C-alpha cells in the first residue's frame, strides 16, 4: 500500500498516511483540509532538512574543489 505525505492546511502539520483506495484523509487535528505531497521516495534530496543529509563531498569530480591547478576559470 502506498504511503503518502500530507500537509494540513488547517494546522500546518505534516504527516504520513497509508492510503487505501479513496479513503478520505484527515489530519490529526480533525481537519480534512489536507493536500497530498510527493511520495517519500520521490522527494528530492535537496529539500531534505539540513542535518539529515550528509554534506556533499568537496572537490566533487576531482576538479575545482580548491586544489585544481591544471586550468583556469
Ligand atoms: Zn491539521
pLDDT by 10-residue block (mean), the chain, 73 residues: 88 90 88 83 58 67 63 68
Contact 6, 15 (CB under 8 A): yes
Is residue 15 within 8 A of residue 8, CB to CB? The reply is yes
The pLDDT value given to residue 34: 94
Per-residue pLDDT, 2: 78
- 12 CA → ligand 1 middle, Å: 6
Å from CA of 25 to ligand 1 middle = 11
Q: What is the DSSP track for 36-60?
A: E---GGGS-GGGSPTTTSPPPPTTG
Give the end-to-end CA distance of the chain in Å, rounded to a whole number. Answer: 51
Query: Measured between alpha carbons, how far is 31 from 25 in angstroms, rounded to an integer?
Result: 9
Domains, the chain, in order of start with CATH, read 1-43 (2.20.28)
How far, in Å, is the centroid of ligand 1 from the Cα of 56? 35
The predicted pLDDT at position 4 comes to 86
pLDDT value for 29: 96
Amino acid at each position: 500500500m502506498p504511503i503518502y505525505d500530507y500537509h494540513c492546511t488547517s494546522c500546518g502539520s505534516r504527516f504520513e498516511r497509508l492510503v487505501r483506495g479513496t479513503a478520505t484523509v484527515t489530519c490529526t487535528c480533525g481537519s480534512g483540509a489536507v493536500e497530498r505531497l510527493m511520495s517519500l521516495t520521490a522527494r528530492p534530496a535537496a529539500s531534505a532538512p539540513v542535518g539529515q543529509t550528509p554534506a556533499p563531498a568537496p572537490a566533487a569530480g576531482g576538479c575545482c574543489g580548491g586544489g585544481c591547478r591544471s586550468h583556469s576559470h
